[in-house]
Structure formats: C-alpha cells, structure tokens
Amino acid sequence: MEVEKNMTSFLNLNVQIDRFDGTNFTRWMGKLFFLLTLPKIAYVLDPKLEPLSEPKEDDFDELKAARKKREDDEVMCRGHILNTLSVRLYDLYNSMESPMEIWNALEYKYKTENECTDKFLILKYFEFVMVDTKFVLDQIHELQVIVTKLRELRVKIYESFQVGAVIAKLPQSWNGYRKKLLHRRDDTNLEELQKHLRIEEETKSRDPKGKIIDSSKVKVVKTSKFFKNFKVNNDKKFKKPSNG
C-alpha cells in the first residue's frame, strides 16, 4: 500500500523528464536522480550502501521494518527507472531485478559513450573558426551552444577562457579590433564582449555616409558598373566616324 502511495505521489509531481532513448545520458541520469531523492529512495543506488542481513526468526521488529522498507524502496526505484526508459531499452533491462544492477548497466554502457562525446565536443570547440561570411554574433552563439552541451556533460569552461577563445577565433578582417581587445586592461565578461562586438559589427556594416550596406548587393553593383563601363568604352571604340 505504501509503495503504491509513493508511486502515485511520484507520478503526480510537476516535473517533466523525457524517456531515455540512448542519448543525453548525463542529463537524463541527473534529472532522474533528483526525482528519486524527492520520495527519498535514491539511497538504494548508493554503491556504499550496506546490504541487510538475511532474515531470521528472532529478528527485532526494527530490523524487520528496515528490511521491508528497503525492499519496498528498491521495488519503487526499479519501477521509476524502467518507467523513464524508451520501449526498446525497457525491454532490454526489464529482466534485471535490482535497481542498482539496471543503474550500473546503463551507466557502464552510456557513460563510456559520453566520454567519446566529450572528446568530440572539446575538439569541435577548439577547432571552431569564425569566418567573414557570417555575422560574428551568430557564430558566437554557435560556439556557446557547444559550451552548453559540454556543461551538460559536466565539462566546465570558465568564462574568462570563453572570452579569450572568442577573441582568438575572430575572423581575419577583425585583426585590428582583436589587438585592441587584447590590449584592454580591464576584465571583460562574455556579455560585455558581445556588446562591444555588436557595436563594432554595426559600424563595419555602414558606409562613410552612415547608410547600411547590403553586402548581398555589393557584387551586383560592382558587376553592373563593370558592364556599364565596358559598354561605354566599346561604343566609343566601334563608333563610325561621321562623313561630315
């Protein structure tokens, strides 16, 4: 009865958790562990948890009650873990009786894969290069998405390092402004850096008269002028001399 009551309370919690399908293991594990702490059953997943002794006829009532609670908590914990798995993974791990056995099996399989993901994302972060054909702030956003994914995998990148990385990864056309940023004596956080870059990018996108230049039309304008000049020169070259 107590198990059913706790299960109902757990399912009625206003907390959303996606079914684990093999991706984002660390995020799923963290969310599920938090949910298991609410009904106070996460302790059964503690690898240092001492096993209870085998039941005996002369056991004290306190020991019998403790054993019954442990058994009920393990049943409920196992049910919660299986309930948050995809159908494919549920069928795969349903044969395991112990919640600890299921937890360890999932961690062994998917944490190893996450370590490979960690290395891939770290490499992707270091190899990320900004180009002149895209807006700088859009590229900074792409870089921050990688940082967010690394944070979910418990790879911490300090903000001062992120600031330095953004400055180092600016496109070649920003070399002059990069030197200016590097010679600043005051510490700049990521938000302030993006404000400075936004202002500089807007400045770069204006012509001397203060009008916004549409970069997509620059080549078209230049091409039009070329053909116009070509036509004028050829008209002069092939113009028939007058008989007068």
pLDDT digits (tens, 9 = 90+) for 97-106: 999 999 999 9
pLDDT, position 150: 83
Residue stretches of the chain with pLDDT short of 70: 1-16, 112-118, 207-244
Q: Which of 11, 24, 3, 25 is nearest to 83 (CA)?
A: 11
Residue-averaged pLDDT of the chain: 79
What separation in angstroms does the CA of 171 have from each of 72, 118, 175, 181, 206? 60, 26, 7, 14, 18
What are the tens digits of pLDDT across the range 172-192?
899 999 988 888 877 788 999
pLDDT, position 11: 47
DSSP assignment of 109-176 equals: HHHHHHHHHHHHHHHHHHH----TTS-HHHHHHHHHHHHHHHHHTT----HHHHHHHHHHTS-GGGHH
pLDDT, position 112: 65
- pTM of the predicted structure, to 2 decimals: 0.48
**Cα–Cα–Cα angle for 182, 184, 190, nearest 5°?**
75
Q: Amino acid identity, residue 244?
A: G
